[in-house]
Amino acid sequence: MTENRGIILVKSEIEKILSSLDKEIFDHKEKQYLSFGKGMRSKFAFLLGEAMGIPEEKSLALAVCAEIVHNASLLHDDCVDAALLRRGKPTLNSVLGVNKAILLGDLSMALAFKKAEELSCEISSQLVFSVRKMAEGALLEENFKNNIITREQYRKMVSGKTSALFRWISLSSAFFSKTPNFEAAAHIAENFGMMFQITDDVIDIENCGDSGKDCLKDLMEGKCSFPLIIALEDKKFSAKNEHNIKDFFSSELKDYAMAYNLAEEIKKGGFVSAARKEAEKITEEMKNYIFTMPNSKAASEFYAFAYGLCSRKY
């Protein structure tokens, strides 16, 4: 399946599900609901599913469920962050209010569970577990805000917040494979989620100064991202900057100039580059697991997809 065709099919299926709702409850054609972005979870599902040799319709169903759950988590995130815009468009909480946006997120989760149940009760049950892990990861992120954290704490948070949904797609794909390799599926998903999050963290600092691009969102929200964690492991950087970082994190109103100067220190110290190399290393660690998949040509395409993501600039 071509990338564009896969995304079109997923969007079409989600439209059908939303159209089944009573319009007095929610009319998706009147309000922007689906924040699809690049459809990363759909691409992951189709490419990995093909590598595992599972039927296309199974990958489509998994992609639809994953995108609905992801979108629900974004609705909740926007409420938590009181965000007014997402990808340049007004958030639903800013248009409908926080209460309706939260409830729509809850309804979306229920729709995803119902769709997953059409595949199997076990698949649906595992999706419930994945949503729990996502919520736990998001709670950890809230608990860690405005604090310096360790690599291990970061990994624990990302394992839930980012990797859990990829893990559900991967293990569910293995479930439908004629030659299931659950160990490989779990390793691929965990590494993919970690690589994806680290790269996002890198971009947030790396793009600072590029015209028209958002940057320093992590620092301004009090998040100790991966490049900062690596920087603080360096004794010279830590001695010079740790006190200022703690002061910055403890400030109720954060100074953007301080965040910019800190980002420059992180870049000059080579810690952004080190974080990107870590993402590349994590991607390389997936390689042996990816090439255990029965469709070697599709496995190569999936690996190229993963490596391309850890090299992305936006």
Give me the residue spans of the domains in the chain: 3-310
pLDDT in tens, 192-204: 999 999 999 999 9
CA distance 117 to 228: 41
d(CA 13, CA 123): 18
Quick check: 98 pLDDT over 70? yes
Whole-number pLDDT of residue 211: 35
Using the predicted structure, report yes or no on whether residue 32 has a pLDDT greater than 70: no
Provide the token pair at 82.
């009181």
Q: How confident is the model at residue 123 (pLDDT cuts 50, 70, 90)?
A: very high
Tokens of residue 18, six digits: 């939303």
Q: Inform me whether the pLDDT recorded for 289 exceeds 70.
A: yes
Q: State the pLDDT confidence band at 162, using cuts at 50, 70 and 90.
A: very high
Of 27-36, 183-192, 219-228, least confident by mean pLDDT is: 27-36
For 143, the token pair is: 């608990």
For residue 1, pLDDT beyond 60: yes
- Comparing 38-42, 121-125, 129-133, 246-250, which segment has the lowest mean pLDDT? 38-42
The mean pLDDT value for 87-91 works out to 80
Q: Which top CATH class is 3-310? A: mainly alpha
Rounded Cα distance between 293 and 40, Å, is 20
Q: What is the pLDDT of residue 267?
A: 96
Give the integer Cα–Cα distance in Å for 147 and 45: 35
Percent of the chain with pLDDT over 90: 83
Q: How confident is the model at residue 49 (pLDDT cuts 50, 70, 90)?
A: very high
The C-alpha atoms of residue 299 and residue 312 are separated, in whole angstroms, by: 20
Neighbours of 163 (CB within 10 A): 27
Answer yes or no: is pLDDT of 167 > 70: yes
Question: Is 209's pLDDT higher than 70?
Answer: no
* DSSP per position, 261-299: HHHHHHHHTTHHHHHHHHHHHHHHHHHHHHTTSS-HHHH
Pick from 231, 221, 88, 81: nearest CA to 146: 221
Rounded average pLDDT over 145-165: 98
